[in-house]
């Protein structure tokens, strides 16, 4: 298995103390954490994209550009790029530029986004979100694969003989499809033979397993080699302790205060927005959150791997308000005691160099 660190750059007051770092501090912390992730041997670092709510991730390419300048090996992903609200021409230009600067380390995860407010912000009809997603991704694919593109669609002016520059560093970027609640993203991924990135952050396990099963079935039905049907999975946060008892004692108040702070009453009842795992005990037992002893977390990841067959596990350390030093400690603990065991138990061909 491969491992990724993800930040959607939350910027809300600390759930217990009310303290709020400046925007500059938070952005610096995110880049510093990406540098630490490379030093600790993680395979990828991802920055989300949010345009509504208490987040600072409206420009992930800029943040990843800063990280590209300070790293040399780690892959740089998005999580997600909200293609549905963006101009594919601009996406093609921006991420190809980042790909050139990083020496070909960029991959996109595209999705409709996990905030309901961004469609209004950009003057778009939320009811058409999947239409936007499908059309704009089709154009993005062509822009990275072809020169002199002629194109006409519903959601932007036509193109005549367009070649976006720069070109990607070494051919079209790999694009994952972020999947949380709908079969639309697994279907689009399967159609094009692309990998799937399941959120695995809020809902019970079976909700995500259903999406992955659909993806694998449709991937084969579209004539693609099932061995290339790579899957990644997120998690609802990482809190490692010496034992479950220590985790509950150390993090219960923090975890449950953050759950209350993140609750969105206007989205109650809509899948994928409010976690049903309100207590830390519920999260440890049934939730996707990686909380507990190293062995508990190993067992949970391998349990998900058995259900999902995933190749890439994403972890998040800045979602609960831990100080940067504590975040680094969590990542080091994970890298030293959890990752090696899971790598041995769940080997993958993802990101292996091509055969000679």
pLDDT digits (tens, 9 = 90+) for 69-92: 999 999 999 999 999 999 999 999
Report which of 42, 115, 145 is spatially closest to residue 266, judged by C-alpha positions: 115
Strand partners, 128: none
CB–CB of 275/259 below 8 Å?
A: yes
CB–CB of 62/20 below 8 Å?
A: no
What's the pLDDT at 212? 98
Average pLDDT over residues 266-285: 88
Q: How confident is the model at residue 356 (pLDDT cuts 50, 70, 90)?
A: very low
Alpha carbon of residue 354 to chain centroid: 25
- Report the C-alpha gap between 67 and 78 in whole angstroms: 12
- Report the C-alpha gap between 255 and 240 in whole angstroms: 13
Average pLDDT, the chain: 96
Average pLDDT over residues 296-307: 98
- Report the C-alpha gap between 221 and 229 in whole angstroms: 12
Average pLDDT over residues 119-127: 93
- 52-56, 75-79, 107-111, 112-116 — which is least confidently predicted? 112-116
Q: What is the token pair recorded at 316?
A: 């998040």
Sign (positive or negative) of CA dihedral 191, 197, 200, 201: negative
Q: How confident is the model at residue 53 (pLDDT cuts 50, 70, 90)?
A: confident
Q: What is the token pair recorded at 295?
A: 């062995």
Task: Please give the span between the terminal C-alpha atoms of the chain, in angstroms, as a whole number.
Answer: 22
Does 355 have pLDDT greater than 70?
no
Residue boundaries of the structural domains of the chain: 2-345
Count Cβ atoms within 10 A of the Cβ of residue 101 and give its class: 0-12 exposed, 13-18 middle, 19 or more buried.
Answer: middle
Q: What is the token pair recorded at 208?
A: 């995500």
Q: Please count the other Cβ atoms lying within 10 Å of the Cβ belonging to residue 156.
A: 14
Does 9 have pLDDT greater than 70?
yes
| Phi then psi dihedrals of residue 229, to 5 deg | -85, 70
Average pLDDT over residues 322-343: 98
- Report the C-alpha gap between 327 and 48 in whole angstroms: 18
Does 286 have pLDDT greater than 60?
yes
Report which of 189, 172, 185, 85 is spatially closest to residue 136, judged by C-alpha positions: 85
Q: Which ranges of 309-355 does DSSP label H, i.e. alpha helix?
A: 324-333, 339-345
CA distance to 12, 296, 306, 309, 345, per residue, from 299 (Å): 31, 5, 10, 14, 11
Does 180 have pLDDT greater than 80?
yes
Q: How confident is the model at residue 127 (pLDDT cuts 50, 70, 90)?
A: very high
Average pLDDT over residues 164-178: 98
Does 265 have pLDDT greater than 90?
no
CA distance to 32, 76, 77, 154, 276, per residue, from 36 (Å): 6, 14, 16, 44, 32
Residue count (the chain): 356
CB–CB of 224/192 below 8 Å?
A: no
- Report the C-alpha gap between 2 and 311 in whole angstroms: 6
Average pLDDT over residues 195-210: 95
Does 328 have pLDDT greater than 70?
yes
Does 55 have pLDDT greater than 80?
yes
Q: What is the token pair recorded at 341?
A: 């065991």
Q: What is the token pair recorded at 288?
A: 């996707």
Q: What is the pLDDT of residues 24-45, one digit of tens each?
A: 999 999 999 999 999 999 999 9
State which fold the 2-345 domain adopts.
TIM Barrel (3.20.20)
What's the pLDDT at 273? 81
Largest CA distance in the chain: 63
Residue 160: strand, helix, or coil = strand
- 16-30, 39-53, 54-68, 109-123 — which is least confidently predicted? 109-123
What's the pLDDT at 112? 85
CA distance to 183, 195, 228, per residue, from 218 (Å): 11, 12, 13
Average pLDDT over residues 46-55: 94
Which residues, at least 6 apart from 246, have a Cβ–Cβ distance to it below 8 Å? 293
Share of the chain above pLDDT 70, in %: 99
Q: How confident is the model at residue 354 (pLDDT cuts 50, 70, 90)?
A: low
What's the pLDDT at 351? 97
């Amino acid at each position: 298995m491969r491992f990724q660190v993800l930040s959607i750059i939350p910027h809300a007051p600390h759930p217990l103390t009310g303290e709020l770092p400046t925007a500059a501090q938070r952005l610096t912390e995110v880049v510093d954490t990406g540098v630490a992730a490379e030093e600790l041997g993680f395979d990828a670092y991802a920055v989300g994209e949010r345009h509504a709510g208490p987040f600072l991730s409206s420009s992930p390419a800029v943040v990843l550009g800063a990280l590209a300048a300070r790293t040399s090996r780690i892959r740089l992903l998005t999580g997600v790029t909200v293609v549905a609200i963006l101009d594919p021409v601009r996406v093609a230009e921006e991420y190809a530029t980042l790909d050139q600067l990083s020496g070909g380390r960029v991959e996109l995860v595209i999705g409709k986004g996990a905030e309901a407010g961004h469609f209004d912000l950009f003057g778009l009809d939320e009811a058409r979100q999947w239409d936007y997603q499908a059309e704009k991704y089709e154009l993005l694919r062509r822009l990275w694969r072809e020169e002199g593109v002629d194109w006409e669609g519903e959601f932007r002016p036509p193109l005549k003989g367009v070649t976006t520059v720069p070109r990607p560093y070494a051919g079209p970027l790999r694009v994952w499809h972020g999947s949380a609640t709908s079969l639309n993203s697994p279907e689009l991924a399967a159609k094009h033979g692309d990998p799937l990135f399941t959120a695995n952050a809020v809902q019970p396990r079976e909700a995500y397993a259903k999406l992955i099963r659909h993806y694998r079935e449709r991937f084969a039905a579209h004539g693609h080699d099932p061995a290339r049907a790579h899957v990644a999975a997120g998690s609802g946060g990482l809190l490692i302790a010496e034992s479950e008892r220590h985790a509950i004692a150390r993090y219960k108040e923090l975890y449950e205060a953050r759950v209350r702070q993140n609750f969105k009453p206007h989205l109650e009842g809509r899948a994928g927005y409010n976690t049903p795992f309100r207590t830390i005990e519920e999260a440890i037992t049934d939730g996707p959150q990686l909380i507990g002893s190293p062995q508990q977390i190993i067992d949970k990841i391998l349990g998900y791997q058995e259900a999902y067959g995933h190749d890439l596990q994403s972890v998040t350390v800045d979602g609960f308000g831990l100080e940067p030093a504590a975040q680094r400690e969590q990542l080091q603990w994970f890298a030293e005691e959890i990752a090696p065991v899971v790598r041995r138990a769940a080997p993958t061909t993802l990101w292996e160099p091509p055969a000679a």
